């Protein structure tokens, strides 16, 4: 799969407020083949996105899994080992999850850290004008230098994946009507169509994402 690219210089640890030694030490922890570090990002009604470093010896990668205690298995949001597979998250879905932590569940609660952990799963062709500023603010909030945060944000967003499967939902039942829960956004979620969920699971996830539920099956 092709990647968006912003061009320019290759990022270095200093962009993120670290030096080479710090980055090397962190890499040893994150890429340790004996352990797979995982970061839980809990949101509405018991849902979680789990950011996993999949440290196979010959095929390392990063996965974002969507889980709930009532589901028989995790659903893959994205799987990256050179190319991105899975539906990924739209910018609206990503920021909604980041902005709605669940303090009753274990995991990362800081909104800035949540956004940055979810960012590798972003698969969207069009971003709002304030997207770069939002990522830049998140970077500075977790300790990145202010003088490089804007450039780092541009690089991260410029290298996002395109939307693998984001159908046009305008004019469909997903965009409103009786199927939209109270407080839902005007757009529906193509993510719901991509996941193998029961009707009740899909409706619960739609409410947690603040988006329109799927039409009756």
DSSP state of 52: E
DSSP state of 39: E
Q: Which residues are registered as beta bridge partners of 65?
A: 50, 76
Q: Confirm if 96 and 207 have CB atoms less than 8 A apart.
A: no
Residue 177 Ramachandran class (φ > 0 left, ψ -120 to 50 alpha, else beta)? left
Q: What is the pTM of this model?
A: 0.78
Please state, in angstroms and as integers, the Cα–Cα distance from residue 44 to each residue in 12, 51, 138, following that order: 35, 17, 21
Q: Confirm if 94 and 121 have CB atoms less than 8 A apart.
A: yes
Res 186: pLDDT: 38
Domain boundaries defined on the chain: 35-127+160-209
Q: Which residues are registered as beta bridge partners of 52?
A: 38, 63
Per the structure block, which two tokens stand in for 99?
A: 């902005």
Res 180: pLDDT: 31
3-class SS of residue 75 = strand
Res 10: pLDDT: 62
Res 67: pLDDT: 96
Bridge-based pairing state of the strands 75-80 and 61-67? antiparallel
Mean pLDDT, each 10-residue run in order, the chain (217 residues) = 44 58 66 82 96 82 92 91 80 96 96 96 92 96 89 88 55 32 44 90 94 79
Q: Report the alpha-carbon distance of residue 114 to residue 40 in Å, rounded.
A: 9
| Among the listed residues 10, 51, 5, 1, the one whose alpha carbon sits nearest the alpha carbon of residue 160 | 5
Res 216: pLDDT: 74
């Amino acid at each position: 799969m092709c990647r968006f690219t912003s061009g320019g210089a290759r990022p270095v640890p200093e962009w993120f407020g670290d030096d080479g030694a710090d980055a090397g030490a962190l890499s040893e922890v994150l890429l340790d083949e004996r352990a797979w570090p995982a970061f839980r990002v809990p949101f509405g009604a018991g849902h979680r996105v789990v950011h996993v470093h999949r440290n196979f010896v010959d095929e390392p990668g990063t996965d974002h899994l969507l889980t709930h205690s009532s589901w028989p298995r995790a659903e893959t949001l994205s799987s990256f080992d050179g190319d991105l597979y899975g539906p990924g998250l739209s910018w609206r879905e990503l920021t909604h999850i980041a902005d709605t932590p669940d303090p009753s569940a274990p995991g990362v609660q800081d909104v800035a850290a949540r956004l940055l952990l979810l960012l590798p799963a972003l698969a969207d062709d069009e971003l709002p004008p304030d997207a770069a500023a939002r990522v830049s603010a998140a970077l500075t909030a977790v300790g990145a230098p202010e003088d490089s945060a804007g450039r780092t944000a541009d690089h991260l967003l410029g290298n996002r994946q395109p939307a693998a499967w984001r159908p046009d939902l305008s004019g469909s039942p997903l965009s409103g009507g009786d199927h939209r829960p109270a407080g839902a956004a005007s757009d529906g979620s193509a993510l719901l169509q991509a996941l193998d969920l029961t009707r009740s699971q899909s409706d619960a996830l739609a409410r947690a994402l603040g988006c329109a539920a799927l039409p009756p099956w």
